Structure 1
Amino acid sequence: MYRLNKKALQILQAEIQRCSGKDQVGKIEQEIVIKRLEQLCKEKGDRAKLDELRDSVIDIYPQFSEKVLKQAAKANQSPGFFTKLKWVTILLGSSTGILWVVNLPYPMIRWPVANAAPILLLPSYINMDYHYREAIKNLEQADQLINQATSPADIEQGSQKAAAAQTNLNNLPVWFLGYYPKAYCNFFGCTWKFTVDEFEAARGRVARIEAIAFQDRNAFTPLEQGEMALKLARQQYEKATSIKDKENAIASWQAAIDQLDQIPKATFAGETAQSKLKAYKRDFDNARIGTFIAAAQEFDLEAEKIQPTQPKAATELWEQAIKRLNQIPTENPRYLEAQRLLAGYQVKLKTVADPRSGTYIEAAKQFALAAAKASQNPPHSVVKWEQIAKLWQKSIDQLENIRVEEPGYIAAQKLLAEYQTNLGIIETRRKAESEAQASLQAANEQIQGLIASPPSSPQQLKGKIQGVINRLKTIQTGTTAYAEAQKLLVSAQKKLQQ
């Protein structure tokens, strides 16, 4: 079946002749449109509908008659009920009127005819069979195009197929399905059935597909708007020459990403947006973090310049720099770089606000940092716990140099309470380690004594072993002696059970 028949082509050619100009340009335009239509005449597939015929001519001839387009579309339709009815009419001679009457959609007419002469119902059977098969075909194609879409064109084509399936379903007589709940083309050897339930299910499926297509089409608008806004924000960022302009571009960039992230994920546009958002967010994070660091460095340079004459303004600039750097998350690759800058800016800020107390606090933090690092991966020996305790004590000593009247006194007291708590914990760990080592040594001495001179009485031997076990059980977890104590404990318990 070709997509455009000769009759429809003739109708369109007549209107093209009327719309064409007489000059050379008019001839060229006429040739272009006619070639398009002739190409449709050569292509096999579904018959071209009104919209496709209009698209073939309207760009060249905006004045092309809509009435003519409708006439051509009607002439191009596949043979339907009345075309097949004519064939049956010719076959039966002069019985046209009777044949038309018996094929009317009224059960009281069709029932006696179906029992007496079912051949007379052939035209309506053929028509119903055609629309049934077309409905199934269009519905399957619509389902595939919508649910497996790869482009907006698939969504649009799927919507058209769903509309075509709906038209086919509208041409199936529901009254017939209800009146004859059996294979209605049984006379001609058909074996399939199409019940009212199947009809309703098909209509529901069409409605769902049309709803999905409607949502998908609507979702393309925010997708296009979001991608355009993101592109403009990125261009604005690349062209920005000042930190303020870059931050404004970053804000626009973030808004565009938020817009894309809000597109319903169940739609094709939402899936497309989600597949792109990972790369968009990565580029955005790189730009945002780079802007934070660049802004902080710029604030620092300006603060250094004005510090001698405008200490208050310099303080505000360093506060802004610290604020930017604090927004960089720990998982970002540039986090450590930001932390190094942050530590330097905090020292400068405290030096301006309170030189003496700021120095003591910074020194205390350095000792505390060293102590915290040394405490990692316990257990440690008694000697190491003592070294760690000395570091915490030095931190405390630095903070105790700050007097009550100094501005940094309250901050120093907060740190002092924290460091004293930490020192207490370290002292507890040191004491536990010391006691564990002493208990382990004593247990080993007991074991050596038993080996050198074991008691002659089994009861005495068991009593001695039980004493070793009790001593080993006093060794706490988290000490260097704990692992060895556990091994000795297992051995002693086995010996006790023998």
Structure 2
Amino acid sequence: MLNKIKWVVILLGGAAGVLWVVNLPYPMIRWPVAKTVPILLLPSYINMDHNYREAIHNLEQADQLINQSTSPADIERGGEKVKAAKRNLDNLPVWFLGYYPQTYCNLFGCTWKFTVDEFETARQRVGRIEAIVFQDKNALVPLSQAEQTLQAAKQQYQQATNTQDREKALAIWQEGIDQLEQIPQQTLAAKTAKAKLNAYKRDFENARVGNFITAAQEFDLAAEQAKQTQPKAASELWQQAINRINQVPLENPRYLEAQKLLVSYQSKIQGIVDPRSSKLIDGAKQFALAAAKLAQKPPHTETKWKQIAKLWSTAIEQLQTVQLEDPGYLEAQKLLATYQTNLGIVETRLQAEIDSQLSLKEANENIQRLIATPASEQQQLRSQIQGIINQLNTVQPGTTAYAEAQTLISQAKNRLQQ
């Protein structure tokens, strides 16, 4: 009995050994077997079929995960899939790929016809995806570093207590933004960085402008403290404040605030350098401001236009007293040109108001005469009405008489149509 079992084991072991040998990936062994006893190659065919299907499946998943990645986990999973696809391709006997295993496929209905060219294409695809995975993983490192730099810079900026510390934080902040912009554009990290970059830049610009204004205010405070005993130092401090304010860009929401501070600092520095002309210029500005406020929401009466003209004239007289040798002379001349232009506009509006009121008055007098003694002939009456219309048309838009004149014109035209 033991001998029989022994012989069975020997026979089974021998058969398994033979099966193992004929399925070795050596053409000199497999070709003769494939021609004579192809059924012995069944394990190879099963293995080929399995690895082919797995290679295609894993490659498709890897491609989807990498090219449509939304997180680092997708890249990691895609890398695992491409490694699995590579192992599947390594298990395919390349020398046999161009031949169709008819016996196996007749028995099991396989549908694949994997050629050498297809194999090489798959290999190249694996290589490309591996390269993408490598780039994506590498790009995640500078992304993480840049975000850490930005967070640290923002925290440092918020904790800064003086201009120097804020400027150091801003320099680090800019460095973080530069790191984000240098990430390779084809990677997931670049897509992630792009989505956040606008917000980082907006916050940086707001912080930068905020620092300009805060620094200017600090210089202003120091100048106020020094102006009595060290006027020259105070003047230099205000100039530093002006230099900071001048860096606020026009498109920034805080530009108007910065310009108001700029005017204030310029007045203060002018007050130290040239107290006399500074006072004259400041006084002229006050008269100009009063004139501008009074001129709002026209039309105005003759009396009001005269008040406005008087204010502009007073402002001009103030500026004209600034002497050529005064440090504020150039600023005074610039303002003088503007104020004289404004006065000319006011005088034009004043004359238009006077002329329009006169035309309206005369037209009303003619209307009253026509009512009192109407013409006996229709043609004469129409001629008189047309004359009144022509006179009313001389009343200019933008005057207090214009609305009444337009009403009278409408009534006169209706009378002509009767």
Task: Mark yes or no: TM-score above 0.5.
Answer: yes
Tell me if 1:365 matches 2:365. no
Q: Please name the residue that 1:12 is paired with.
A: none
Q: Which has the higher contact order (CA 8 A, sep 6+)?
A: 2
Partners of 2:87 and 2:398 in 1: how far apart?
A: 79
Q: Please name the residue that 2:188 is paired with.
A: 268
Tell me if 1:142 matches 2:142. no
Q: Please name the residue that 1:218 is paired with.
A: 138
* 1:407 to 1:140, Cα distance in 2 relative to 1, 3 A: same
Give yes or no for contact 1:105–1:173 (8 Å, CA) kept in 2.
no
Query: 1:393 aligns to what SS in structure 2?
Result: helix
TM-score, normalisation: structure 2 = 0.70
Partner AA of 2:220 in structure 1: D
Give yes or no for contact 1:174–1:196 (8 Å, CA) kept in 2.
yes
Deviation at 1:294, TM superposition (A): 3.8
Deviation at 1:240, TM superposition (A): 4.2
Tell me if 1:345 matches 2:265. yes
Q: Please name the residue that 2:80 is paired with.
A: 160
Q: Please name the residue that 1:29 is paired with.
A: none
Backbone CA RMSD of aligned residues: 5.2
Q: Alignment partner for residue 238 of structure 2, among 312, 318, 325?
A: 318
Give yes or no for contact 1:265–1:274 (8 Å, CA) kept in 2.
no
CA offsets 1:91-134 (integer angstroms, 9 cap, x no match): 9x957666668x84999x69x95xx9875664454333223322
Partner AA of 2:239 in structure 1: E
Partners of 1:263 and 1:487 in 2: how far apart?
A: 71
Q: Please name the residue that 2:299 is paired with.
A: 380
Partners of 2:54 and 2:413 in 1: how far apart?
A: 85
* 1:489 to 1:132, Cα distance in 2 relative to 1, 3 A: farther
Deviation at 1:318, TM superposition (A): 0.8
Give yes or no for contact 1:469–1:492 (8 Å, CA) kept in 2.
no
Deviation at 1:481, TM superposition (A): 7.5
Give yes or no for contact 1:325–1:338 (8 Å, CA) kept in 2.
yes
Partner AA of 1:215 in structure 2: Q
* Residues 90-489 of structure 1 mapped to structure 2, 5 A cutoff: 104=27, 113=35, 122-169=42-89, 185=105, 188-191=108-111, 206-238=126-158, 240-264=160-184, 266-277=186-197, 280-281=200-201, 284=204, 287-328=207-248, 338-373=258-293, 380-383=299-302, 386-431=306-351, 456=378, 468=389, 472=393
Partner AA of 2:332 in structure 1: A
Give yes or no for contact 2:98–2:114 (8 Å, CA) kept in 1.
no
Question: Is 198-207 or 146-155 further displaced after alignment?
Answer: 198-207
Report how many aligned residue pairs link the two structures.
400
Q: Please name the residue that 1:68 is paired with.
A: none
Deviation at 1:400, TM superposition (A): 0.9
* 1:343 to 1:99, Cα distance in 2 relative to 1, 3 A: closer
Give yes or no for contact 2:49–2:110 (8 Å, CA) kept in 1.
no
Partners of 1:135 and 1:436 in 2: how far apart?
A: 93
Partner AA of 2:280 in structure 1: Y
Give yes or no for contact 1:385–1:429 (8 Å, CA) kept in 2.
yes
Deviation at 1:410, TM superposition (A): 1.8
CA offsets 1:61-87 (integer angstroms, 9 cap, x no match): xxxxxxxxxxxxxxxxxxxxxxxxxx9
* 1:155 to 1:367, Cα distance in 2 relative to 1, 3 A: farther
CA offsets 1:315-355 (integer angstroms, 9 cap, x no match): 10011122223434567676665555444322221110111
Identical-pair percentage: 60
Question: Is 139-148 or 425-434 further displaced after alignment?
Answer: 425-434
Partners of 1:328 and 1:446 in 2: how far apart?
A: 62
Partners of 1:430 and 1:173 in 2: how far apart?
A: 102
TM-score, normalisation: structure 1 = 0.61
* 1:389 to 1:454, Cα distance in 2 relative to 1, 3 A: farther
Deviation at 1:409, TM superposition (A): 1.1
Query: 1:403 aligns to what SS in structure 2?
Result: coil
Give yes or no for contact 1:367–1:394 (8 Å, CA) kept in 2.
yes
CA offsets 1:124-146 (integer angstroms, 9 cap, x no match): 54333223322232223323432
Query: 1:380 aligns to what SS in structure 2?
Result: coil
* 1:175 to 1:338, Cα distance in 2 relative to 1, 3 A: same
Partners of 2:118 and 2:400 in 1: how far apart?
A: 77
Query: 2:143 aligns to what SS in structure 1?
Result: helix
Deviation at 1:359, TM superposition (A): 1.5
Give yes or no for contact 2:146–2:180 (8 Å, CA) kept in 1.
yes
Q: Unpaired runs of 5+ in structure 2?
A: 1-11
Partner AA of 2:49 in structure 1: D
